Structure 1
Amino acid sequence: MIDRSIATQILELIRTEGLMAGAHLPAQMLADRLRVSRSPVNEALALLHEKGVLTREKNRGFFVAKPVIESLSDVVDELGLEQTDIVTSVYFQIADDRLKGALPDEFSEQMIRNRYGLTSAQLTSVLTRISQEGWAERKPGYGWQFSPMLTTPDSLLKSYRLRLALEPAALLEPGYRLEKKVLERCRDVEKHLLAGGIETDTADQLHERGVRFHESLVEASGNSFFIDTIRRVNRVRRLLSYRSMQHRERYVEHAKQHLEVLELLEREKNEEASEAMRQHLLHTLDALTRISEILEP
């Protein structure tokens, strides 16, 4: 079964980066950007090729057939890529059940298949996504186990305190350089959120957009230790991030703060941008503390 969310994310990348007809879309680059393996990326590329969004050249790969100009939701509807498949819905149900304490630390594939009424292909897709995101892994020999990390409100707060130490420092690295096209892509995303995306985007989309903003800014530091750390912590905080999205009103202020950081970086005022990032993460910590009851099992 093709994970249509990957195809949607590829469409969003084409749109936000303003990729024109003929732009190459290497599968490995997309897999790195979307933090998935190449297999679902190749399936999504083939699907978009069938839909006429991409062209394919033998031994060269996939290329943009035409730019994506309309709103993402309109394109998704037009191509029939709505996020209603059972794999996505069961993924979120497993996440919620895990946070509620309804699933044991260790489990078998058969238990998950029976509990959620999955086919073999659906089971493989769900478990592949969960393992790629780092909150469960296959045990040596037989069975699976959930990661003990980030299933309590306190662990989410600790992840933000780590980011509070890391992200402002990344903006002060020697040779820090945020490319203009990356800055503009980040700015477009925040404007989209303020224009209504906060209410209409899925939890998946909201999480990924926040992750891409913060990772893009850290990646511009060129410091591989910072970059690896932020990617790791973002993978394992995903579960509680989804739960916190029950209170979306705080995202309006978050988006405004993101735009402020971008403006300062554009003017090369990195020290001020670093302080603005520190204040932004402190604001988020405070907001999460106040909604900690919805993060409880």
Structure 2
Amino acid sequence: MIDRSIATQIVELIKNEGLEAGAHLPAQMLADRLRVSRSPVNEALALLHEKGVLTREKNRGFFVARPVVEPLSDMVSELGLVETSILTSAYFQIADDRLKGLLPGVVSEQMIRTRYGLTNAQVSAVLNRIAQEGWAERKPGYGWEFSPMLTTPDSLLKSYRLRLALEPAALLEPGYRLERKTLERCREVEKHLLAGGIETDTADQLHERGVRFHESLVEASGNSFFIDAIRRVNRVRRLISYRSMQHRERYVEHAKQHLNVLELLERERNEEASEELRQHLLHTLEALASIREILNSGPDDQRTAQPETTS
């Protein structure tokens, strides 16, 4: 079963990066960017080839057939990539149930299949996605075990303290250089959000755009240890991030703060940019009291709580 969300993300990457016809799309590069294995990427590339978005050359791989200039939503709809499938619905329901404590720490594929009305192929697809994102893994021999990471208040607080220590420091690394193209791409994303994307983007799109902003800033440090650490913590914070997207009011403020950081970096005022980023993350950390309430409360209480961690 092809995960059409991967194909959608590839189309979005072509648009956001301004890739022209003939640009090469190596499968491993895409797998690294999208934080998935090569198998679903290869399937998505083949699908986009069938739909005329990409060309394929023997022994060379896939290439952009034409630039994506139309609005992403129009392009995705035109290509039939809109994913309101049972697979996506089941994924978010599993995440929600896990956060509410309605799923045990260890589950069987049969339990997931029965509880969410999935086929064998759908169970495999959704559990593999969860495993790739780092919040569950297959047990030796039988069943799946959920990670406690980011489902307890203490682990969540620790993840944000790590980011608070790491991300501002990355901006002060010797030789820090944020490429002009990367800076402009990040800026356009924030402008898109302020122009209405906050209300219309999917949870996947919002999460990935936030992750790409913060990872892009750290990647510009050139410090492989910083880069590896931020990627690891972003993989495991996805679960709680989706919960926060039920309430998007604070995204406007966050987008403006992101733009302020970018403006300071553009002017090579890295110390000020580092402090601005520190304050941005500190504000999020201070908002974790509401997240603690969500994680410590029962399902009825959780429906009324309003988390604010969206950075």
Matched, 1:148 2:148: yes
Q: Note if contact 1:240-1:295 (Cα within 8 Å) is conserved in structure 2.
A: no
Q: Deviations over 1:147-203 (max 9, x none)?
A: 011113443232111110110001000111111111111111101000000001111
The 5 Å alignment of 1:133-212 reads 133-212=133-212
State the distance in 1 between where 2:285 and 2:194 align.
21
* Match in the other structure for 1:99: 99
Q: CA deviation at 1:268?
A: 1.0
The 5 Å alignment of 1:1-297 reads 1-290=1-290, 292-296=292-296, 297=298
Q: Note if contact 2:153-2:291 (Cα within 8 Å) is conserved in structure 1.
A: no
Letter in 2 for 1:229: A
SS in 2 for 1:165: helix
Q: Note if contact 2:100-2:295 (Cα within 8 Å) is conserved in structure 1.
A: no
Which stretch shifts more, 259-268 or 283-292? 283-292
TM-score (norm 2): 0.93
SS in 2 for 1:237: helix
State the distance in 2 between where 1:9 and 1:25 align.
13
* Match in the other structure for 2:308: none
Q: Deviations over 1:10-50 (max 9, x none)?
A: 01100011000000000000000000000100111111111
Letter in 2 for 1:249: E
Count of residue pairs the alignment pairs up: 297
Measured on the aligned residues, the alpha-carbon RMSD in Å equals 1.2
Q: Note if contact 1:250-1:287 (Cα within 8 Å) is conserved in structure 2.
A: no
Q: Note if contact 1:244-1:288 (Cα within 8 Å) is conserved in structure 2.
A: no
Q: Note if contact 1:243-1:295 (Cα within 8 Å) is conserved in structure 2.
A: no
Q: Note if contact 1:159-1:233 (Cα within 8 Å) is conserved in structure 2.
A: yes
Q: Deviations over 1:250-295 (max 9, x none)?
A: 0000000001111111111111110010011012223343465445
Q: Note if contact 2:55-2:63 (Cα within 8 Å) is conserved in structure 1.
A: yes
State the distance in 1 between where 2:223 and 2:156 align.
24
SS in 2 for 1:56: strand
State the distance in 2 between where 1:289 and 1:198 align.
23
SS in 2 for 1:175: coil
Letter in 2 for 1:111: M
Identity %: 86
SS in 2 for 1:62: strand
Q: CA deviation at 1:141?
A: 2.2
Q: Note if contact 2:6-2:40 (Cα within 8 Å) is conserved in structure 1.
A: yes
SS in 1 for 2:287: helix
Q: Note if contact 2:2-2:43 (Cα within 8 Å) is conserved in structure 1.
A: yes
Q: Any unmatched runs of 5+ in structure 1?
A: none
Distance 1:199 1:153, change over 3 A: farther
State the distance in 1 between where 2:85 and 2:44 align.
14
State the distance in 1 between where 2:105 and 2:291 align.
26
TM-score (norm 1): 0.97
Letter in 2 for 1:104: P
Letter in 2 for 1:156: L
Q: Comparing both chains, which one has the higher relative contact order based on Cα–Cα distances under 8 Å and sequence gaps of 6 or more?
A: 1
